[in-house]
């Protein structure tokens, strides 16, 4: 089954998902949300996939929700149902047991900013911008934006961006700790490819567990997380990837992980 609003391409162990509505700055709606959820589910089930890249077609990463839709009259229940259908893919991103890299090629606004924040690592072109602009139309961040933004940059900075709705450039986003790295626009695709390939070549099971425990760390107390670390570490000791990693260490070579 094909896709209407996204492009999905697999190269080696990396799947690239491209938001593909360039004429409308890759706006989000239930169709795109459902297709993103399906593509992420396929990537999770495919043992040959070690990492996922999310990027945008054209000059924007994503301008977020369809503001034209908001001109129409809907009940609160109708709008809630619409948001539920759109945002399920955000849970898929945060729960995917494989690393996700967002390659932000242009404006990431509103829900588009949340998509980037839901990735595990964010590379941004020098021309990229970020905005949680909801306050400008009397709304609050959605698609997990409040949760994801405050976790990345802390409450003080998150309140600044959410309550003012101001736009920041990639350099300021990097200084805030919102993103991992800024690269020249012409180098974004190549730098993202190299990072994704590096992650995809890693021990998938260990990285998936590490991702889950990091995400749980804000809700867990120290002792509970310590017990989780110990139990998962004991299980990972039995994996082929661990044995290969130890063997490669003593043989002074690069390990060849298989995700098992």
Is there a single domain that holds both residue 96 and residue 146? yes
Write out pLDDT tens, residues 30-42: 999 999 999 999 9
**Looking at the structure, do residues 182 and 194 belong to the same domain, yes or no?**
yes
CA–CA separation, 139 and 157 (whole Å): 19
d(CA 104, CA 173): 12
CA distances from 206 to 36, 118, 129 (A): 25, 20, 33
pLDDT tens per residue, range 200-224: 999 999 999 999 999 888 888 888 8
Residue with tokens 């999905």, as numbered in its chain: 8
pTM across the whole model: 0.90
46 within 8 A of 97, measured Cβ to Cβ: no
Give which of 208, 199, 156, 157 is closest to 178, Cα–Cα: 157
- Domain annotation covers residue 260: no
- Residue-wise pLDDT for 135-182, tens only, equals 988 988 888 999 999 999 999 999 999 999 999 999 999 999 999 999
pLDDT at 257: 85
Is the same domain home to 183 and 212? no
In the sheet that holds 129-131, the strands lie side by side as: 107-109, 129-131, 167-169
Same domain for 146 and 213, yes or no, is no
Same domain, 31 and 151: yes
Look at residue 257 and tell me if it is in a domain. no
Domain at 225, CATH number: 1.10.12
Give the pLDDT confidence score for residue 127 in this predicted structure.
Answer: 96
Residue 131 domain-assigned (yes or no) = yes
The answer to whether residues 44 and 148 belong to one domain is: yes
Domain shared by 67 and 184, yes or no: yes
Which of 179, 200, 221 is where one domain is finished? 200
Share of the chain above pLDDT 90, in %: 66
For residues 231 and 2, give the distance between their C-alpha atoms in angstroms, rounded to a whole number: 41
Closest CA to 70 of 84, 54, 82: 82
Q: What is the pLDDT of residue 75?
A: 83
Tens digits of residue pLDDT in 114-135: 999 999 999 999 999 999 998 9
Strands lying side by side in the sheet with 121-125:
6-11, 14-19, 51-56, 100-104, 121-125, 181-183
Q: 238 with 122, same domain?
A: no
170 lies in the same domain as 73: yes
- Among candidates 74, 71, 77, 36, which has minimal Cα distance to 53? 36
Inside any domain, residue 238: yes
CATH number at residue 27: 3.90.226.10
Chain segment 229-260, per-residue pLDDT in tens: 888 878 888 888 888 888 888 888 888 888 78
Residue 194 inside a domain? The answer is yes
Q: Are residues 102 and 15 in the same domain?
A: yes
Alpha helices in the chain (DSSP H): 30-45, 76-95, 111-118, 145-164, 170-176, 188-200, 204-216, 222-236, 240-250
Number of compact structural domains in the chain: 2
Its domain, for residue 246, covers 204-250
CA 233 to CA 178: how far, in whole Å? Answer: 29
């Amino acid at each position: 089954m094909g896709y209407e609003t996204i492009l999905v391409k697999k190269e080696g162990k990396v799947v690239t998902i491209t938001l593909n509505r360039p004429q409308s700055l890759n706006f989000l709606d239930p169709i795109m949300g459902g297709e993103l959820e399906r593509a992420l589910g396929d990537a999770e089930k495919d043992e040959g996939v070690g990492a996922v890249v999310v990027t945008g077609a054209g000059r924007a990463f994503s301008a977020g929700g369809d503001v034209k839709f908001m001109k129409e009259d809907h009940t609160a229940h109708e709008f809630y149902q619409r948001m539920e259908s759109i945002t399920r893919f955000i849970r898929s991103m945060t729960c995917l047991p494989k690393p996700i890299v967002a390659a932000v090629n242009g404006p990431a606004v509103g829900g588009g900013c949340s998509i980037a924040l839901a990735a595990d690592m964010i590379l941004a072109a020098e021309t990229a911008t970020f905005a949680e602009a909801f306050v400008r139309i009397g709304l609050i961040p959605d698609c997990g934006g409040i949760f994801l933004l405050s976790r990345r940059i802390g409450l003080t900075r998150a309140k600044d961006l959410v309550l003012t709705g101001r736009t920041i450039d990639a350099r300021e986003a990097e200084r805030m700790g919102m993103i991992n790295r800024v690269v020249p626009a012409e180098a974004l695709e190549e730098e993202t490819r190299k990072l994704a390939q590096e992650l995809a070549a890693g021990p998938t099971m260990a990285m998936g567990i590490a991702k889950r425990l990091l995400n749980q760390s804000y809700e867990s107390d120290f002792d509970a997380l310590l017990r989780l670390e110990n139990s998962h570490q004991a299980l990972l000791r039995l994996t082929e990837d661990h044995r290969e990693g130890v063997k490669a260490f003593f043989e002074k070579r690069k390990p060849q992980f298989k995700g098992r």
